[in-house]
């Protein structure tokens, strides 16, 4: 046990609770108590905890201020110091402050090395690799994983569980960097290591994580296959008592069902399971907000008034968390869900204000989310935005300036669907690319039909040909036959 506590660990606790001006508050309380700010004596922790609890309550509320008080008082324990740095890193990750998160994980590693907790050090290096992956710095991520590998490989006895988890993380890195073939190779290597793990708990943990990553790999192309992997992973997460791992798998099952037509109710069930697991674990509040936004999208797909009301409540709750934690990526996802909500309301009522609100929400999501931050989410957002024009066309009667309005409609949906396709292709999300191409084809088919009604044969022919190219590309025989019939009718 250290007789003094470095100020950085106190600041990590304040970061964990997202206290604005945390360092200023810390120094102010130390001055008033007559403590040095560079290092705090263990004997000073109770007084400092009381002072910080009182000073921070305005930002946290009474319950969380009490938790902060407990965290400060417990910092005499090195394991608690490691947890403080790790929790701060996790908090910063949620706010997309990846570099700052890395600095806290590195501080935790120093204490791990000091205390001899090498397994924890290896785990933290894996987390650092994930941060670098989000920064698109593959070289730095690989270096972090090499550090983790060296620790686990040199451990006595050799840490086979750590090695398997490193390979699973390497698979994640390859998927993030757009190398699905290498991703599969690393997952296969991870599977081979499982037979060397003697401890049952560690074996179950490694199995759970590898299955989760296999589910994530399958998610891009085969949602039913992904669901099988996720459900299998839950069995092992439960065995090791990993609540967040189980919640993550439940959320991902919900996401997979959301992509399968007719399974919206099943998606809601799995999202609700994830929410119930995360609801009372404050350090996973960011993940809770993500699942609330996903739940809202599933409820919007169901579309009845009660579901839309529940969706609005879920979005509002998610936005509150995202705003408090300053999570840009999360806010973009919530605004996208809000856009889908207004789009559904507009489709049901054809009220102009709902169409406008839907466009505003999608544009807000796009504006705050830079390209490269989360291209899959950008793809989903552009897809939802494009569908506004698809839905509007079906509910709006065009009686004047028909050619001008059809061309504007075509320009908008073509641009937005192609942007969605571009972002999904970057993520190797084949199923989503196919969905966009089908809907783009349907839009061209619709415009072609309108021109055919006007007897503008050359314009109709051009749109039917475009539609046909997309339908042939995705191999949809019924739409191919319908479009070919339309082309023949023009001759």
- Tens-place pLDDT, residues 151-182: 999 888 899 999 999 999 999 999 888 888 99
- What pLDDT is attached to residue 393? 76
Q: Is the pLDDT of residue 403 over 90?
A: no
> Residues for the chain: how many in total?
491
3-state secondary structure of 454: coil
- Output the CA–CA distances (angstroms, integers) from residue 483 to 118, 191, 308, 418, 487, in the order listed: 63, 47, 35, 21, 6
- Dihedral angle over CA of 471, 476, 480, 482, nearest 10: -120
- What pLDDT is attached to residue 485? 94
User: Would you tell me how many other CB atoms lie within 10 Å of the CB of residue 275?
Assistant: 21
User: What tens digit of pLDDT does each residue of 246-274 get?
Assistant: 999 999 999 999 999 999 999 999 999 99
- What pLDDT is attached to residue 15? 92
CB 247 within 8 A of CB 277: yes
CB 88 within 8 A of CB 15: yes
- What pLDDT is attached to residue 449? 92
Considering the four listed CATH numbers 3.60.21, 1.10.3470, 3.10.450, 1.25.40, the one that applies to the domain covering 374-491 is 1.25.40
3-state secondary structure of 6: strand
- Shortest CA distance to 187 belongs to which of 234, 229, 224? 229
3-state secondary structure of 132: helix
Mean pLDDT of 202-224: 95
* CA–CA separation, 95 and 208 (whole Å): 27
- What pLDDT is attached to residue 66? 94
What is the secondary structure of 259-284 as a DSSP string? Answer: TSTT-HHHHHHHHHHHHHHHTT-GGG
Least confident of 50-54, 114-118, 373-377, 447-451: 373-377
What is the overall mean pLDDT for the chain?
92
Q: Is the pLDDT of residue 399 over 60?
A: no
* CA–CA separation, 373 and 244 (whole Å): 23
- What pLDDT is attached to residue 190? 96
Mean pLDDT of 3-11: 90
* CA–CA separation, 12 and 356 (whole Å): 43
Q: What tokens does 162 get?
A: 């750590």
Question: Percent of the chain beyond pLDDT 70?
Answer: 98
Domain positions in the chain: 157-241, 245-365, 374-491
Q: Is the pLDDT of residue 1 over 50?
A: no
pLDDT band at 241 (very low <50, low <70, confident <90, very high): very high
pLDDT band at 245 (very low <50, low <70, confident <90, very high): very high
- Output the CA–CA distances (angstroms, integers) from residue 26 to 38, 154, 434, in the order listed: 11, 40, 54
Torsions phi, psi of 135, nearest 5?
-90, 0
* CA–CA separation, 313 and 63 (whole Å): 23
* CA–CA separation, 229 and 215 (whole Å): 5
* CA–CA separation, 251 and 485 (whole Å): 43
pLDDT band at 183 (very low <50, low <70, confident <90, very high): very high
- Dihedral angle over CA of 122, 127, 133, 135, nearest 10: -120
Mean pLDDT of 384-393: 87
Q: Is the pLDDT of residue 397 over 80?
A: no
Q: What tokens does 376 get?
A: 């899959």
Cβ contacts of residue 248 below 8 Å, gap of 6+? 212, 274, 287
CB 271 within 8 A of CB 294: yes
What is the pTM assigned to this prediction?
A: 0.85
Mean pLDDT of 444-452: 92
Torsions phi, psi of 41, nearest 5?
-70, 145
User: What tens digit of pLDDT does each residue of 324-367 get?
Assistant: 888 889 999 999 999 999 999 998 888 889 999 999 999 999 99
Mean pLDDT of 388-414: 80
- What pLDDT is attached to residue 109? 96
* CA–CA separation, 86 and 427 (whole Å): 29
The hierarchical CATH code for the domain 245-365 is: 1.25.40.10
Q: What tokens does 389 get?
A: 């024009």
User: What tens digit of pLDDT does each residue of 270-286 get?
Assistant: 999 999 999 877 778 88
41 DSSP β-pair partners: 4
């Amino acid at each position: 046990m250290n007789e003094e506590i470095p100020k950085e660990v106190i600041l990590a606790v304040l970061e964990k609770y997202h206290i604005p001006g945390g360092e200023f508050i810390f120094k102010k309380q130390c001055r008033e108590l007559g403590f040095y700010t560079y290092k705090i004596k263990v004997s000073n922790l109770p007084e400092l905890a009381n002072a910080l609890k009182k000073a921070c309550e305005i930002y946290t509320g009474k319950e969380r201020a009490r938790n902060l008080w407990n965290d400060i008082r417990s910092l005499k324990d090195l394991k608690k110091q490691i947890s403080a740095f790790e929790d701060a890193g996790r908090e910063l990750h949620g706010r997309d402050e990846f570099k700052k998160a890395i600095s806290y994980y590195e501080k935790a590693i120093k204490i791990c090395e000091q205390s001899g907790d090498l397994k924890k050090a290896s785990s933290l290096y894996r987390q650092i690799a994930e941060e670098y992956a989000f920064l698109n710095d593959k070289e730095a991520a690989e270096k972090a994983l090499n550090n983790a590998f060296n620790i686990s490989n040199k451990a006595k006895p050799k840490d086979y569980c750590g090695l398997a988890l490193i390979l699973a993380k390497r698979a994640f890195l390859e998927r993030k960097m757009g190398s699905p073939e290498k991703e599969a190779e690393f997952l296969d290597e991870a599977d081979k290591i499982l037979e060397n793990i003697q401890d049952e708990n560690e074996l179950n943990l490694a199995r759970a994580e590898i299955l989760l990553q296999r589910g994530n790999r399958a998610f891009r192309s085969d949602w039913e296959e992904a669901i099988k992997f996720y459900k299998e992973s839950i069995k092992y997460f439960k065995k090791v008592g990993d609540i967040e791992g189980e919640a993550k798998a439940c959320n991902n099952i919900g996401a997979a069902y959301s992509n399968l037509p007719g399974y919206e109710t099943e998606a809601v069930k799995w999202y609700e399971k994830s929410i119930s697991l995360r609801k009372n674990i404050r350090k996973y509040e960011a993940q809770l907000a993500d699942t609330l936004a996903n739940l809202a999208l599933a409820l919007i797909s169901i579309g009845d008034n009660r579901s839309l009301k529940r969706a609005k409540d879920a979005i509002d709750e998610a936005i509150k968390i995202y705003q408090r934690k300053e999570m840009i990526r999360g806010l973009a996802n919530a605004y996208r869900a809000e856009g889908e909500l207004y789009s559904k309301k507009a489709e049901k009522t054809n009220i102009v204000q709902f169409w406008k609100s839907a466009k505003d929400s999608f544009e807000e999501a796009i504006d705050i989310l830079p390209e490269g931050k989360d291209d899959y989410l950008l793809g989903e957002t552009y897809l939802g935005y494009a569908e506004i024009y698809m839905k509007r066309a079906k509910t709006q009667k065009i009686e004047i300036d028909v050619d001008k309005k059809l061309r504007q409609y075509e320009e908008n949906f073509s641009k937005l669907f192609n942007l969605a396709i571009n972002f999904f292709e970057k993520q190797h999300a084949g199923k989503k690319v196919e969905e966009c191409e089908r809907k783009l084809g349907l839009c061209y088919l619709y415009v072609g039909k309108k021109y055919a009604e006007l007897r503008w044969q050359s314009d109709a022919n051009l749109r039917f040909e475009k539609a046909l190219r997309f339908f042939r590309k995705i191999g949809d025989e019924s739409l191919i036959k319908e479009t070919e019939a339309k082309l023949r009718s023009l001759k």
